[in-house]
Chain A
Amino acid sequence: MEGVAVHPKAGAHETHPELSFVRKYIFSTDHKVIGIQYMITSLLFLLSGFTMMLLMRWQLAYPGHVLPIIGRFLPDTMAPGGVMLPEFYNQLGAMHGTIMVFLGVVPLGVSAFGNFVLPLQIGAKDMAFPFLNMLSYWIFLVGGILMLSSFAMPGGAAQSGWTSYSPLADLAPPGQTMWLIAMTFIITSSLFGAINFITTTMNMRAKGMTWMRLPFFVWCQFVTAILLVLAFPVLQGGAILQLMDRVAKANFFIPANLIFGGVPVEQPGGGNPLLWQHLFWFLAHPEVYVLLLPEFGIVAEVLANGTRKPLFGFKELVISLCSIGVLSFIVWAHHMFLSGMRTDVTKFFTVTTMLISIPSVMVLTCFLLSLRGGSIHFTTPMLFAIAFLPLFGIGGLTGLPLGFTPTDIYLHDTLYVIGHFHYVVVTGSLIALFAGIYYWFPKMFGRRMNVFWGKVHFWVSVIAMNGIFFPMLIQGMAGVLRRQYDPTAQVHNLPSLGLNKVMTWSAILLAVAQIPFILNFFISLFKGEKSTDNPWNATTLDMAACPSPPPHGNFAGDLTVHRGPYEYSVPGHKTDWSPQHVPEDQLTGRMQQQPAQQE
């Protein structure tokens, strides 16, 4: 009778506080430690993806010039004499996209903040399956390391774009096989994570935490997890088929009579390359919302807290969120308007694409209207959350002419597309993630980050980001195409080439702007000002109901939730925040003059 039956169930956390260092910080099953592990890891991946982008940007601004600093260290298969080869450029392009999406922004938004914050916000002691949670992190890490190490494969890393279109990817060097295997790990990891998030949200809410009392962040994570569960396996299916094509010479994406490099391929063929695109985008469009929805949640938390008033239209936000979730499954083929699909299919997808823009507009409208009537405190996270509104707005608006078939004919595959989705993912998602880091840092580590350097980080980053992405929109209108190793090779690129230097130097400025952030992060970790238990005077359980940092098991005793998530400035209450778990009678009283809020 060994094993599970004899273990004390609920008391397991409290009865064994003495853990070895390894069990506590490395192979931990505590959702908070896993969340922080995910955060550090994905920030490192973001940095590596960013470095790849800097190399590419240098090549674009100064084609054929020696890469500064790094160039000398690169082997001849990548950059002989320090000058980048086209193969290496394509590898960097594919890996930049893959790393930023699958190893950077998604793990940071979903796994890092989701793991750390979600159980705290619903009043749970941990995730539903802590062991699975730990497994998810380690599988993710293995996948990420495999992905990075594929640069060492013969022929280099995957080089067919992060979209890995067949048949190019079917016939590419072995790095692509590594890409597919690494993707399998990453997919498995996010599947485990998503199962955990869904079960935890449904099953482990504190007493009184009804669905409409869940903070918007939890809603966002919940919908995201559903998208992950339903969309990722389809890419997994596609990856299996592509892997079979590559390894076992199957025929799925190989059309008949294919000739590659002057030699007919071995297989008889008969497959269809468009099938891969359908399978890929069936994942990758919901994936765009996976990149975005958790960040909506972060912005909602920070906005409500920074304006000291309830969010505008909580119900509409939830309805919009769910509509986005549903609609995101029927818009995928708008990435394929010019692939040769039947044109009646394109019409269907144009209409659905326009439809999905409505709930997104609705979310943004609610956020904007939330500012009205507030008492806006310009704290560091709040600055990032405010910047999210107009900049994500640009990202959303530039999506309109792309989702619209006639205008997409010209803009498809130009830098306009790149500008559009970088406005969404960088000035949208990444900025919101920075807001989240500044917002939850005191809760994670019990210390505050430096305000001055936080604001320096904010202003320089925002200016630099616009300096990178706005010229892309202009170049896109001039017809400059994406994924070009040497932009001088095509005549129609030449007039707007000067903008490449603007973008490259802005990218370098963005790199410089991260130095205060990194230093601020690590110095504050050890030397930052001690934080109070509720660092932002917030109402949600993660901030209000547990100490900073929360102990193993999170909460002392069981919580009962009495009200909705964003009850700020309630008339008749003593403080301008009314935590979800505090009974009404302890809150009523004359509103006291608030001490000046810490920034």
Chain B
Amino acid sequence: MTPDQLYGWWLPARASTYAADLDRQLDVFHVAMGLIFVCWGAFMIYCLIRYRARPGVPAVYSHTGIVKSMIPDGIVLAFELFMIFVIGLPVWAHVMETFPEEKKANVAAVIAQQFAWNIHYPGPDGLFGRRDIKLISSGNPIGLDDADPAAKDDLVSVNQFHVPLGKPTLVYLSSMDVIHSFNVPAFRTKQDATPGMRVRIWFEPIMTGTFEIACAQLCGLGHYRMRGDVIVHTQEEFDAWLAKKQAEKAEL
């Protein structure tokens, strides 16, 4: 899909497995909110016209009580509890708490810094190489320690996150300096990357293409231009890309 097709005036295209679940809840909420608002508004306009001040018509003196106003409160409470326990928490658990198995997933680490997304792929051995902040240089943005055997087959890319279609991607998210937030609008993925913490997130794309990564948490003067792309390939393309990159690394 081109950006024109992906993004518009409302929710972006749904490019991950859980996007539809989350969108459905947004829809339910907005329909309910609209209903409540229209009812409130209609009642208010009715009152403003029906009970406008007219000479000779005094206001009704009453201290009526609790029961009547409880009815809308009760409806709203019931709606909210229904949303939380029946609809909300299962989806939250699915998106934020149920992680794919590492063996079956594509694993990568995203290390945010001012103002770039570093992607660290563990390579065929599935192990991330050791990192040390003392080794950070322009050629080695995350400080990967080449002496570590696990680091031999690791790949690092900046702002270009390559993932395969058809299996979930598990991301270890962290930050080197300040708090950033990993946001892929088309996937409905968002998670803060806090220095000193390493959190897991996952997504499973349902289409190939290029999807924007934005930083959602103010991280300094370059916050607005801290962007990258998730590039979703078919599995074959992804494997070919990996092989090509491994070969390039071996040449160096």
Contacts and interface: CB of A to CB of B under 8 A. Distances in A.
B249 to A, nearest CB: 24
B26 interface: yes
Contact of A168 (B3, B179, B181): B179
B37 A393 contact: yes
Interface string B166-194: 00000000001111010101101111101
Nearest to A496: B9
A374 interface: yes
Nearest to B138: A262
Contact of B179 (A93, A273, A377, A494): A273
A591 B196 contact: no
Residue of A87, A171, A261, A481 with highest tally of chain B CB at under 10 A:
A481
B29 A490 contact: no
Contacts of A407: 22, 25-26, 29
Contacts of A260: 114, 177-178
Interface stretch (B72-80, B101-109, B122-130, B148-156): B72-80
A376 B224 contact: no
B197 interface: yes
A491 interface: yes
Contacts of A490: 212, 214, 224, 227
Question: How extensive is the interface on chain A, given as a class?
Answer: 35 or more
Contact of A478 (B9, B40, B215): B9
Given A368-B40, A407-B26, A479 B185 contact: yes
A414 B199 CA distance: 21
Contact of A390 (B37, B55, B89, B227): B37
A272 B40 contact: no
Interface stretch (B62-70, B157-165, B239-247): B62-70
Interface in A370-406: 371-378, 386, 389-390, 393-394, 397-398, 400-401, 404-406
Most buried by A among B43, B81, B179: B179
Contacts of A571: 61
A157 B6 CA distance: 38
The 6 A-B pairs of least Cβ separation, nearest first, read A255-B196, A373-B60, A479-B185, A371-B47, A309-B59, A375-B59
Interface of A: 85-87, 90, 93, 159-161, 165, 167-168, 171, 255-262, 264, 269, 271-274, 307-310, 312-316, 338-340, 343, 346-347, 350-351, 354, 357-358, 361-362, 364-366, 368-369, 371-378, 386, 389-390, 393-394, 397-398, 400-401, 404-407, 409-414, 474, 477-479, 481-487, 489-496, 568-571, 576, 591, 593, 596-597
Interface of B: 3-4, 6-12, 21-22, 25-26, 29-30, 33, 36-37, 40-41, 43-44, 47-48, 51-66, 68-70, 72-73, 76-77, 80-81, 83-84, 88-89, 91-93, 95-97, 113-114, 133-134, 136, 176-179, 181, 183, 185-186, 188-192, 194-197, 199, 212, 214-225, 227
